[in-house]
Amino acid sequence: MKAVITVTGKDTVGIIAKVSTICAEKGANILEITQSVLSEYFAMIMLADINDLKVPFSDFVDELAQIGKNAGLDIHAMHEDIFNTMHHI
Amino acid sequence: MLNTSDILETINMIREENLDIRTITMGISLLDCVSEDENRLCEKVYDKITKRAERLVSVGCDIEKEYGIPIVNKRVSVTPVSLIGGAISPDGYIKLAKTLERAAQTLGINFIGGFGALVHKGMTEAEKNLISVIPEALNETNLVCSSVNVATTKAGINMDAIALMGKTIKRAAYLTRDRGSIGCAKFVVFANVPEDNPFMAGAFHGVGEPDSVISVGVSGPGVVSSAIARAGDCDLSELADIIKKTAFKITRVGQLVAHEAARRLDTPFGIIDLSLAPTPAIGDSVAHILENMGLTVCGSHGTTAALAMLNDAVKKGGVMASSHVGGLSGAFIPVSEDAGMIAAVEQGALSIEKLEAMTAVCSVGLDMIAVPGDTPEDVICGIIADEISIGVANTKTTAVRIIPAWGKTVGDSVDFGGLLGRAPIMKLNSASCAKFIARGGRIPAPIHSLKN
């Protein structure tokens, strides 16, 4: 099972570090990262394996959202199936 | 493999364009609750609903969180209660309505539907008893929705039932006069009612359904509207293609949610309802889709053609995305629940006559329309008869949800809040059709119903 984590917001130091720390703590294995900075606006998409997650996925979602809120970022973790079903036949 | 633009497209649909799942509705059969003792009947109904749908809300919330897609409503529909209340009194039906309300509150769901009857060919004593207390039931409950099917293409139109509907609507408006006549917003009169519709106020669990079933209603006018706006000046063939592709994507999400909900609740999957359901929120309007297609305002000439094309393209795109499609499946045009429709009525661009024409080519019918509180009963019956005839003659579902708002007149509006929105009072042709309605009887089924 994989999750897509998206992070958007104003670019600041240590965004990737913050998100990857949570992932490591909770047992989500980061498989892929793409990121871009467009005129101070930061957008990152992470694909993470969540098979060995130590907490329920919904708690993981909440925790990331909270970290985002504290840092003025928009962070969402969503099950990859929503993207697969919408874009692949 | 997922690519970045696909991911961003999905996220944009959800965050910016109001994509959501409008409802997960669990249909529950109450046929095994029948009892001639009304207290025992109510007890069995309460137990069955609260047991079957015990996890509906929590499973809905879990799915919402995991997939990151809002699921706006969790609802329950039940067997039309006239079918299980054959042995109870009118007071017993009120008790039953209160039982449904109590069950809905225990479950934490948004609405419960099925306090209704199917009387397209005639009425039993039980159905007459039920219909006689619909206004009281709507007044004494908040979450219970009621519907009556008064016609089918096969059976024709039961005009005696339509006469009763006029009375029912006027009385419900009076009883709930202190709340903008909200009782009428929870009551709908149908022709060719589908038995698996997940949308309120018309949802009920048909007799051909299994013991319980999960159906899902998708939404997404904002997504379609934005896709059309992005398309620029393309021709209508191209526009139809864009709508189809967008409807496909929306419906795929609905299918995913329905499949997951059915699996987790260990309940069979019923159908996906492909309706484009608007909400009063800005950017979630069917009227704005039509305007983005090129109309200056919804209600102008050209509206019916634009709506017909939209409705058809939504179905063509959605049908391949789901294993079973059913319910109402089409664009909804509820006036009070659609910011663009409200604006069009207030500008004087959208009349009830135009809305009636629009219902010939889209889903449902005259929906959430507020009219002056002093509208005579026979005029309401006439509006219902006209709308129902469109359904019967065109072998499609049509319905009327009309609110003669007590004490209000043209220029006023009633605000129900939430998904029900705000309804400007619409002008009516109030010439009487009382003699026609008073004839009663049945309008025979149209010739094309004889297909065998």
Three-class secondary structure of residue B381 per DSSP: helix
Residue partners of B269: CB distance under 8 A and separation at least 6 = B213, B214, B215, B258, B259, B262, B323, B324
What ipTM describes this predicted complex?
0.86
pLDDT for A16 = 86
User: Which chain B residue lies closest to A5 (C-alpha atoms)?
Assistant: B7
B398 DSSP β-pair partners: B191
Interface of A with B (CB under 8 A): 4, 6, 34, 43, 45, 47, 57-58, 61, 76-87
Distance CA(B40)–CA(B91), nearest Å, equals 14
pLDDT for B315 = 94
Q: Which residue is listed with tokens 């098979």? A: A51
Q: What is the pLDDT of residues B361-385, one digit of tens each?
A: 997 899 999 999 999 999 999 999 9
DSSP-derived pairing of the beta strands A2-10 and A73-79? antiparallel
pLDDT for B307 = 97
CATH class for the domain made up of A2-87: alpha beta
pLDDT band at B331 (very low <50, low <70, confident <90, very high): confident
In this structure, what DSSP letter does residue B201 have?
S
| A contacts of B10 (beta carbons < 8 Å) | 82-83, 86-87
Domain locations along chain B: 28-191, 215-442
Q: What is the pLDDT of residues B284-322, one digit of tens each?
A: 999 999 999 999 999 999 999 999 999 999 999 999 999
B23 DSSP β-pair partners: B73, B217
Is the CB of A77 less than 8 angstroms away from the CB of B11? no
Q: What is the pLDDT of residues B178-187, one digit of tens each?
A: 999 999 999 9
Counting one residue from chain A and one from chain B, the pairs whose CB atoms sit within 8 A come to 56
Distance CA(B271)–CA(B273), nearest Å, equals 6
Q: What is the pLDDT of residues B23-57, one digit of tens each?
A: 999 999 999 999 999 999 999 999 999 999 999 99
Q: How many CA atoms lie within 13 A of B6 on its CB side?
A: 14
Please report, rounded to a whole number, the percentage of residues in chain B having pLDDT higher than 70: 100
**pLDDT average, residue stretch B227-249:** 95
For residues B186 and B114, the answer to whether their CB atoms sit within 8 Å is: no
pLDDT band at A36 (very low <50, low <70, confident <90, very high): confident
Is the CB of A82 less than 8 angstroms away from the CB of B65? no
Which among B10, B62, B65 has the least Cβ separation from residue A83? Answer: B10
pLDDT for A47 = 94
What's chain B's average pLDDT?
A: 95
In 3D space, the residue among B347, A33, B344 whose CA is nearest the CA of residue B355 turns out to be B344
| A contacts of B11 (beta carbons < 8 Å) | 6, 76
Domain locations along chain A: 2-87
Burial of A41 (0-12, 13-18, 19+ CB in 10 A): exposed
Residue B37 neighbours by CB distance under 10 Å: 12
Is the CB of B2 less than 8 angstroms away from the CB of A78? no
Residue B61 has pLDDT above 90, yes or no: yes
For residues B166 and B125, the answer to whether their CB atoms sit within 8 Å is: no
Is the CB of B2 less than 8 angstroms away from the CB of A83? yes
Residue partners of A36: CB distance under 8 A and separation at least 6 = A42, A43, A44
> Which of A31, A73, A83, A89 best tests the B interface by mutation, with the highest count of B CBs <10 A?
A83
pLDDT for B52 = 97
Is the CB of A47 less than 8 angstroms away from the CB of B67? no
Is the CB of A79 less than 8 angstroms away from the CB of B68? yes
pLDDT band at B1 (very low <50, low <70, confident <90, very high): low
Residue partners of B301: CB distance under 8 A and separation at least 6 = none
Distance CA(B141)–CA(B215), nearest Å, equals 24
Residue partners of B202: CB distance under 8 A and separation at least 6 = B113, B145, B147, B188, B190, B193, B328, B364, B399
CATH of domain B215-442: 3.20.70.20
The secondary structure element, H or E, covering residue B25 is strand B21-28
- A13 min Cα distance to partner chain B (Å): 23
Distance CA(B126)–CA(B85), nearest Å, equals 7
The answer to whether the B28-191 and B215-442 domains have the same CATH topology is yes
pLDDT for B273 = 93
Interface of B with A (CB under 8 A): 2, 4, 6-11, 62, 65-69, 249, 252-253, 255-256
Which CATH number fits the domain B28-191, given the four candidates 2.60.40.10, 3.60.130.10, 3.20.70.20, 3.40.50.720? 3.20.70.20
Distance CA(B272)–CA(B23), nearest Å, equals 10
Q: What is the pLDDT of residues A38-76, one digit of tens each?
A: 777 888 999 999 999 999 999 999 999 999 998 888 899
User: Which chain A residue lies closest to B68 (C-alpha atoms)?
Assistant: A78
pLDDT for B2 = 75
| A contacts of B7 (beta carbons < 8 Å) | 4, 6, 45, 83
Is the CB of A81 less than 8 angstroms away from the CB of B11? no
**pLDDT average, residue stretch B122-135:** 97
**pLDDT average, residue stretch B396-408:** 97
User: Which chain B residue lies closest to A60 (C-alpha atoms)?
Assistant: B66
- B251 min Cα distance to partner chain A (Å): 8
Residue B349 neighbours by CB distance under 10 Å: 17
In this structure, what DSSP letter does residue B185 have?
G
Checking phi first, is residue B103 left (phi over 0); if not, alpha (psi -120 to 50) or beta? alpha
